[in-house]
Amino acid sequence: MTASTSSLGYAVLGLLARSAATGYDLTRRMHRPVGWFWTAAHSQVYPELARLESGGLVEHDVVEGAGPRPTKRYRLTRAGRVRLRDWVAEPAERAPDRDPLMLKVYSLWLLDRPQAVALVEATRTDHAARLEVYAAQEREMQARPEALADPGTREFAAWATLRAGISFEQHRLDWCDWLLARLRD
């Protein structure tokens, strides 16, 4: 009866809780800004919407749009909102630990020193660039500081994920610098 919902399902519900959207809209938002912590291709989104609808968690009506098939605008049902809230309140599982960079660092002893330095420098550059993207996003958000003042709002929730991203990039930068200092003795 209460069909189980995957993380992808909750990602979709989380977006629809903020505003009604087409599958196409959801796919775009799964690229940015939600893509920073959860991504999905449109080929995943459409079947997932059908599953959620058959479970009574979302519903749609048809609006006129630009595609060859009817354009469907989805919104959360009351049951969907309850299901999402219950899931959010449960303790979060850890993200699966699968980091290709760490796999490389574990075998860093196979490289000669200049190669090792180059690998870490490239990583550093990548994190610095991402940090700049996040920081720009945060400046944009802080243009309306009153929306971020209340931690009960959706704007604050989005800001909290951004802050986590900024903190992560900063930690990786610091780690790169720690490693580079040792590699360049």
- Binding site residues, DNA, CB under 7 A: 6-8, 22-25, 27-28, 39-44, 46-47, 49-50, 65-72, 96, 98
Residues 6+ apart with CB under 8 A from 74: 16, 20, 21, 22, 23, 26, 49, 53, 58, 59, 60
**Interaction of residue 146 with a copy of itself, rule CB under 8 A:** no
Q: How many CA atoms lie within 13 A of 75 on its CB side?
A: 7
DSSP 8-state secondary structure symbol assigned to residue 92: P
Residues 82-111 that bind a copy of itself (CB under 8 A): 84-85, 87-89, 91-111
Task: Give the one residue of 32, 42, 63, 113 binding a copy of itself; rule: CB under 8 A.
Answer: 113
Q: With 0-12 CB in 10 A as exposed, 13-18 as middle and 19+ as buried, what is 89?
A: exposed
Residue number, 14 or 55, with CB nearest to a copy of itself: 14
- The site for a copy of itself, by CB under 8 A, has a size of 70
Q: With 0-12 CB in 10 A as exposed, 13-18 as middle and 19+ as buried, what is 9?
A: buried
Site residues, a copy of itself (CB under 8 A): 7, 10-11, 13-14, 17, 34-39, 81, 84-85, 87-89, 91-111, 113, 115-116, 118-119, 122-123, 126, 151-154, 156-158, 160-161, 163-164, 167-168, 170-172, 174-175, 178-179, 182-183, 185
